[in-house]
């Protein structure tokens, strides 16, 4: 349960409640209405309509930005993304960023949105990245569950995030694999970033860097994390 819930009086602008009051396994959030409609959510929602608006705005702001359809879901919904590049070479380094493989983790979409807004901005580093790389951003992977309001964790027929093997159930996962494998084959996949919400009570994030780029205190944790990942892969080779 989040420390604060999120609410809106217009369905567009979202604010946090005061910290909730825990009562055993439950938590109470207090919201004062205005007499009109009231929306209350676990966190600020990000829907497929928000993806459409984000991509349209990015295309307006930068000629380097082009929206694309990655795939159609099992439910027939479009999974949309954005390609951003001004690289002069035909096969520049590839960067793949996607979010929301677990539909309830809407916070990951807001990170993807912030990254996208920065990427098409006039920031000097963003300009450099556009000029030297080919960047793909998919704000919502599990579009079906995001559209219907389901959580997606341990979903039937399969958890979306556990679908990354040789026989994926979800068309969008198969399509992402195809694009990623093509970049790997061309030896140009530089970054693959899979955005999730942190676990309950865990405000940290996890990423892999080369050991020499880490601070001294982080290196043992990095090694331990890699060992745990390797052990998990050995025990569960298809996850």
pLDDT band for 33, please (50, 70, 90 cuts): confident
Confidence check: pLDDT of 222 > 80: no
Residue 61 predicted with pLDDT over 90: yes
Q: Check pLDDT > 60 for residue 60.
A: yes
- The 8-class DSSP code of residue 236 comes to -
Q: Which two tokens stand for residue 195?
A: 């955005």
As a whole number of Å, the end-to-end CA separation of the chain is 27
pLDDT of residue 19: 94
Cα torsion at 234, 236, 238, 239 (round to 10°)?
A: -110
Q: Each residue of 82-91: pLDDT tens digit?
A: 999 999 998 9
pLDDT-derived band at 188 (thresholds 50, 70, 90) equals: very high
Which two three-digit tokens encode residue 65? 């930005």
Quickly state the pLDDT bin for 190 (edges 50, 70, 90): very high
Backbone angles phi, psi at 112, to 5 degrees: -60, -40
**Whole-number Å distance between alpha carbons of 105 and 18:** 21
What's the CA gap between 186 and 189, in Å, rounded?
8
- For residue 237, pLDDT beyond 60: no
> How far apart are the C-alpha atoms of 50 and 216, rounded to whole Å?
41
**Distance separating alpha carbons of residues 194 and 115, to the nearest angstrom:** 13
Helix, strand, or coil (residue 83): strand
CA–CA dist 233, 228 (Å, integer): 9
Instruction: Give the residue-averaged pLDDT of 103-114.
Output: 93
19-29 pLDDT per residue, tens = 999 999 899 99
* Alpha-carbon span 130 to 147, nearest angstrom: 31
How far apart CA 118 and CA 146 sit, in angstroms, is 24
**Half-sphere exposure for 142 (CA within 13 Å, toward CB):** 29
| Confidence grade of residue 103 (pLDDT, cut at 50, 70, 90) | very high
SS3 assignment, position 163:
coil
Residue 135: strand pairing partners: 84, 95
Q: What is the DSSP string of 27-42?
A: EE------SS--EEES
């Amino acid at each position: 349960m989040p420390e604060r819930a999120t609410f809106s009086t217009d369905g567009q602008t979202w604010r946090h409640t005061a910290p909730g009051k825990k009562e055993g396994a439950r938590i109470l959030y207090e919201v004062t209405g205005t007499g009109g409609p009231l929306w209350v959510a676990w966190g600020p929602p990000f829907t497929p309509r928000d993806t459409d608006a984000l991509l349209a705005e990015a295309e307006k702001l930068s000629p380097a930005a082009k929206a694309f359809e990655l795939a159609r879901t099992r439910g027939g919904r479009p999974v949309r993304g954005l390609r951003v590049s001004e690289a002069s070479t035909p096969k520049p380094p590839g960067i793949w960023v996607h979010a929301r493989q677990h539909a309830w983790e809407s916070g990951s979409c807001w990170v993807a949105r912030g990254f996208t807004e920065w990427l098409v901005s006039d920031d000097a580093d963003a300009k450099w990245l556009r000029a030297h790389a080919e960047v793909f951003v998919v704000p919502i992977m599990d579009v079906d569950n995001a559209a219907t309001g389901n959580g997606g964790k341990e979903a039937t027929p399969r958890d979306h995030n556990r679908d990354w093997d040789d026989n994926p159930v979800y068309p969008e996962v198969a399509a992402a694999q195809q694009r990623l494998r093509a970049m790997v084959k061309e030896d140009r996949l530089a970054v693959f970033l899979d955005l999730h919400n942190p676990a309950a009570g865990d405000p940290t994030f996890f990423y892999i860097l080369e050991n020499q780029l880490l601070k001294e205190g982080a290196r043992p944790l990095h090694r331990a994390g890699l060992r745990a990942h390797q052990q998990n892969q050995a025990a569960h080779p298809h996850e």
